[in-house]
Amino acid sequence: MNNLLSLWLRQCQREWLLHLRQPKNLLYAAIFLLMVMVFFPLTLSAEPRLLREVAAGLIWIAVLLAMLLASERLFQQDYEDGIIEQWLASGEALGLIVLAKISLHWVLNILPILLLCPLFALLFNLSAYEMRILMLSLAAGSPAIIFLCALAQALSTGIKQKGVIAALVLLPLAIPIMIFGSASLRAAMQFLPVNGYIAILAALSVLAAVFLPVVIAMIIRISLAD
Amino acid sequence: MSHLMMGGYALYVWSAYGFAAAMLAIILVTMTKRRKQTRKLLQQWFKQ
Amino acid sequence: MRAKIAFFSDPIDTMWKFLYYMAAPKNFYHTTRAWLPLLKYGALLFLPIGLGWGLFFAPPDYQQGDAFRIIYLHVPSAFLSLSLYTVMAFLSVLLLVWRIKLAGLMMTMVAQMGALMALLALITGGIWGKPMWGAWWVWDARLTSELILLLIYLAIIATRSAFDNPDQGDKLAAIMVLIGLIDLPIIHYSVYWWNTLHQGATLSVFAKPKIAAPMLYPLLISLLGFALYCGWVILYKARNELLLRERRQQWVRDVVEQGLV
């Protein structure tokens, strides 16, 4: 048990340092998110009522895409540096390593997104209450999204058309999160209770966090069998 | 004749059935073609 | 007591022995040769009978008139798109747990057929919807669910084809299948729930009507016909791929030389 704990802490520390030494990457996802959100009023219409109607769906779609882009770095660098092979050779609990990596990635990536929420509220005419619900739902549902992104990235490490395959794999699987995530904001707009939605999002996140690291470890083993 | 007209819904019924028939037929054609290709390929491969 | 246990374990034993026997490519190839004509003629028999009966001899529907005859295409294809997924899931387990490579190969073929069935279900569903609801596409819960199923099939096929190494590709696609399997009920539930927000109390046009006997029998027959057809195509293509994959083996050389390809 001690072994696992120290492995966990070591990996978290490693990921923390990795991210801190390349701080720009955290911003890229946030900037992408911002750009996409600006695109929508430009391509749809600037009418406040319409923007409020579509805000829920648009924000969640944009967050999904931003997280997909941000997760490209999850395994690619380590794969190229041969770190993943060392993990396999070391015989340590790969699932735990993966969990540490993704958890830290989530913590560091969700922060810029949450910080942008006030700006989104401004752009799309959301009230303070709606903004809070948005942030809460994003915090509850984004772990599930990130684990699915990691799954998609693991599947596509080391093949030619990475980005497309990862997107094809991610999008259908992420549908429940998207449905309930955007529904929570729409419910907030109508002053309906949101507890149920947040609970479902949190449940999906827990499910993903528990099961997907093991699956991702399996995928990594198969991908690097040669 | 009334059967062909399908009570006025002829366009819909026949286009649906037509698409299905075309799809099923194309599947059969491609699978037999691939089989022939495979046979040729293997025969060549084994001649060496 | 021992005799009783032996009695029960015998059929299970022979089943496992059969499975392991069939897992060997050579045995599979030679044994299934006899199955092909059964599937082929079964399909060629039941499909025309079922569809012909449904098209010309079943009585027209009280509400939908003759347009309801599309049901004989839509229901079998939708049903098969789902049941083929469970077949894929079963094959995935065979591949990942029992390491039967043949199962991986068959899974790829099943995925292709399943995707085509989902496509057929969607297109016939859309065509059926036009005279009934005036639109080629409605965001009906069942159609939307079927569309997402098609997308998952496509993701599985894309995953498989992204890898040149067939063993690797099969295994990773198999993992995708199982993840999709777990996610499908969640997706299904969330789509149905989402749909209630939009439809309210409106009945789905694809709600199963109380189907009368003279309409049911052709449905069952065409379902059987479609199932046999799918089985035929999957087996045919799987045998073909097997020859290609195993071409370095002596038995393949024998097969080609004896003209049994």
Question: Could you write out the DSSP letters of every residue in chain C?
Answer: -HHHHHHHHHHHHHHHHHHHHHHSHHHHHHHHTTHHHHHHHHHHHHHHHHHHIIIIISPPBTTTBGGGGGHHHHHHHHHHHHHHHHHHHHHHHHHHTT--HHHHHHHHHHHHHHHHHHHHHHHHHHHHHHHHHS-S----HHHHHHHHHHHHHHHHHHHHHT-SSHHHHHHHHHHHHHHHHHHHHHHHHHHHHHHHHHHTTPPPTTS-----HHHHHHHHHHHHHHHHHHHHHHHHHHHHHHHHHTTTSHHHHHHHHTT--
Q: Is C85 on the interface with B (CB under 8 A)?
A: no
- C63 band by pLDDT with thresholds 50, 70 and 90: confident
Of C148, C171, C189, nearest to A172 by CB-CB distance is C148
Q: What is the pLDDT at residue C203?
A: 45
As a whole number, mean pLDDT of residues C64-68 equals 81
Closest B-chain CA to C113: B27
- C238 band by pLDDT with thresholds 50, 70 and 90: very high
As a whole number, mean pLDDT of residues A153-159 equals 86
| CB pair distance less than 8 Å for C176 and A169 | yes
Cα-atom radius of gyration of chain C, to the nearest Å? 21
As a whole number, mean pLDDT of residues A71-90 equals 83
**Neighbouring-strand partners of residue C65:** C61
Residues C137 and A25: their CA atoms lie apart, in Å, by: 41
Each residue's pLDDT tens digit, C15-37: 888 888 999 999 999 999 999 99
Q: Is C55 on the interface with B (CB under 8 A)?
A: yes
| CB pair distance less than 8 Å for A179 and C193 | yes
Distance from CA of B46 to the nearest CA of C (A): 7
> For a pLDDT cut of 90, what percent of chain B falls above it?
60
| CB pair distance less than 8 Å for A169 and C189 | no
Q: Is B40 on the interface with C (CB under 8 A)?
A: no
> For a pLDDT cut of 90, what percent of chain C falls above it?
62
For chains A and C, count residue pairs whose Cβ atoms are closer than 8 Å: 68
| CB pair distance less than 8 Å for B24 and C229 | yes
As a whole number, mean pLDDT of residues A121-126 equals 91
- A79 band by pLDDT with thresholds 50, 70 and 90: confident
> For a pLDDT cut of 90, what percent of chain A falls above it?
57
Q: What is the pLDDT at residue C7?
A: 57
Q: Is C175 on the interface with A (CB under 8 A)?
A: yes
Distance from CA of A13 to the nearest CA of C (A): 30
Distance from CA of B17 to the nearest CA of C (A): 7
Each residue's pLDDT tens digit, C74-120: 999 999 999 999 999 999 999 999 999 999 999 999 999 999 999 99
Each residue's pLDDT tens digit, C121-164: 999 999 988 888 888 888 888 889 999 999 999 999 999 998 98
How far is CA A125 from each of CA A42, A97, A137, A140, rounded to the nearest angstrom? 15, 41, 18, 23
What are chain C's partners, defined as 3 or more CB pairs within 8 angstroms? A, B
Closest A-chain CA to C188: A176
Residues C137 and A114: their CA atoms lie apart, in Å, by: 37
Q: Is C172 on the interface with A (CB under 8 A)?
A: yes
Please indicate whether chains B and C are in contact, defined as at least 3 beta carbon pairs under 8 Å.
yes
| CB pair distance less than 8 Å for C69 and B34 | no
Each residue's pLDDT tens digit, C162-218: 898 999 999 999 999 999 999 999 999 999 888 887 654 444 445 555 567 778 889
Each residue's pLDDT tens digit, A175-225: 999 999 999 999 999 999 999 999 999 999 999 999 999 999 999 999 877
Distance from CA of A19 to the nearest CA of C (A): 29
Measured between beta carbons, which residues in chain B are less than 8 angstroms from residue C243? 38, 42
| CB pair distance less than 8 Å for C236 and B17 | no
Q: Is C147 on the interface with B (CB under 8 A)?
A: no
Distance from CA of C61 to the nearest CA of B (A): 11
Quote the Cα angle for A40-A44-A49, to 5°.
95
Measured between beta carbons, which residues in chain B are less than 8 angstroms from residue C77? 20
| CB pair distance less than 8 Å for A222 and C175 | yes
pTM above 0.80, yes or no: yes
Residue from A222, A223, A224, A226 to probe the interface with C (highest C Cβ count within 10 Å): A222
